[in-house]
Structure 1
Amino acid sequence: MSSIPSARDVAALLEKWSPQHLAMEGDPVGLMLGSLEKKVKKVLVTLDVTEAVVAEAVEKRTDLIISHHPLLFMPLTEVDTSTPKGRVIQQCLQHDITVYTAHTNLDIAPGGVNDWLADAMEIKATKELVPTKKDQLYKLVAFVPEEDTDQVRWALGDAGAGHIGDYSHCTFNSEGTGTFVPGDETDPHIGNRGALTYVAEKKIETVVPESKLTQVLDVLGRAHPYEEPAYDLYPLGLEGESYGLGRVGTLATSMKLEKFASSLKEIFTVEGLRVVGDLEQTVQTIAVIGGDGSKYWQQALAAGADVLVTGDVKFHTAQDAEAAGLALIDPGHHIEAIMKQALADRFAQDAQASGYQMKATASTVDTEPFTFL
């Protein structure tokens, strides 16, 4: 049975694979404006929240705008509706449009912006360029009546517990006896109020990464038959998946820098780009960081990259990189617009799997401020 999700439900779809805790420190992500409790039938995905984008959202009767660049990057001291920012806020509030942002968490998340960029350039065998964090692992130990263990095991595994390498739903199980006395205000699944109850139970042990912990515990509470599930949680001296900004990988075949740079004009639909380095040099190992990533050129060099693709390259940064032997290609910050259709498609897929009556579309407004002459 399908249902109309709330903005909170839609945000939860995103945060299952692009959680807020992945964002860089100080980066404003999450709810920007409006309410997460409102019902959402239409979502508009955009790179930026501008007056033109809001006008499009109003025309399409959008309930929720999801942007990559934050609407409110700096704290506001006033909302002056005679300014562009003030008019955006006014129009969103007037038309009851909630605004939600996924910024560097969407850059860092596996399957997010930097992977979409790498895929578009056909870069293979990618890994993160600038490590930002590693997932802490926890051991979850749950005590479940024997007849309910299968449903709980499957629910935990589906929520992200017990994933080791290419294996999923990994658990260890042992048998025992649980005891409890239901209180006067309880509605026990097994046993009677005030009576000591003995239950044949299984202890399910599984590994949970920190990024999945909240949703796994939530699922445990819903899948477990007891009103108050019994469980233990232990931090482990092990690290899980590594996360980071940017990607570095290789092309299937090497090519001249000029040919590779020219291919990016078509891939990202840009009229021009800036190139640093010998156009005749051969490149094969490629690093990419969406947005403004030129400050990480030394990490790209250390990773063995022949060229770094990123936006907003400064003059002296370009000189330093060139002197060190690293080529740079600057197709502009706006190539992150690749996220619009990619994220809309992901929402459509996840909403259908969750049984949500929700339509997600990519904004057709071009927010690129530069014109090449």
Structure 2
Amino acid sequence: MSALVWIAVGSLVAWLWLLLGQGFFWRTDVRLPARVEPAEWPFVCVVVPARDEAAVLPESLPSLLAQDYPGRAEVFLVDDGSSDGTGELALDLARRHGGLPLTVGSPGEPPAGWTGKLWAVRHGIGLARARGPEYLLLTDADIAHEPGSLRELVAAARTGGFDLVSLMARLRVESVWERLVVPAFVYFFAQLYPFRRIAVDGSRTAAAAGGCVLLRADAAERARIPDAIRHAVIDDVALAKAVKRGGGRIWLGLADRVDSVRPYPRLHDLWRMVSRSAYAQLRHSPTLLAGTVAGLALVYLVPPVALATGLATGTAWAAAAGGLAWALMVATYLPMLRYYRQPPWLAPLLPVTAFLYLLMTVDSAVQHYRGRGAAWKGRTYARPDTALDES
């Protein structure tokens, strides 16, 4: 058998394992678990870190202020050094729309060893703790919540006994590039962190989606959130791991009533979103980078290449293995496309998207070694060990 056949068979074996052995990551039916409304609704403080978010705030903040929550709730927006009037706009929106009480604070520039977002979260949690809430809702400034969102999150946490309940907000999918890249982003995330495994007690898999995290205040204190993860660029995953290490029970699933309103109309915008943290995900390891590139190539690029080459050269085994692997790829991607209400003909294009992600990951490493890694909104963050040495 030729090398091409062996590589194609290897890709097929990888897809069979992904299909059956990776927590059924491709299924999209992990939604908020069964819930019963509590007799007494706990006090919730909503913490929103915001840096230069004036463009999206008019769509997102009013949705938080208008939450139909039977208990007591307050919103704390932390203006992280914005230059576009984010804090003033937030106060103006609160005056015009009413609803839940809003407090706007500003922590100043983050010290060495802290990312800007987590420094803002720390300030917001500090303001909230002075009120004595039972739960904290950590949500991003570009996330819009339907009126019953907070109510459902709290009911799910109470009913399931979860210390952390997180929803992967439905990202915007309107431009051509968003249609090609965004559903795949969530698909790849679920492949890395199968949602079904996250809620299993004793499982080492832990992740959250930073746009919407409901967290018990005492669990946050036990896990030293956010101080314990102050340098994390991928802060949502780090937060979930810290809570789980502290004995907390966590749950993550796809959202039905929580949406991101942030547009990514150009490939450049999506490229920056992925590349700013991709190499951090690999712990800045050249070895992990090489393994990731090889893995992406084997799993996503080999199937169409093996099929085309096998048909062109008459290598039936290569064509058959490549074609079957590609068919499994398409079949596992279709549920995510349905969730995002996208046409099924996008599924065979997943190898193209995977190749883009491969390039984004390599670019993330290149930017890191050029000193421009993990750059976001005017700030560039050092790798964690360097940051900690400076703090």
- Give the number of the structure whose alpha-carbon radius of gyration is greater: 1
Point out the structure with the larger helix share.
2
Alignment TM-score, normalising by the size of structure 1: 0.22
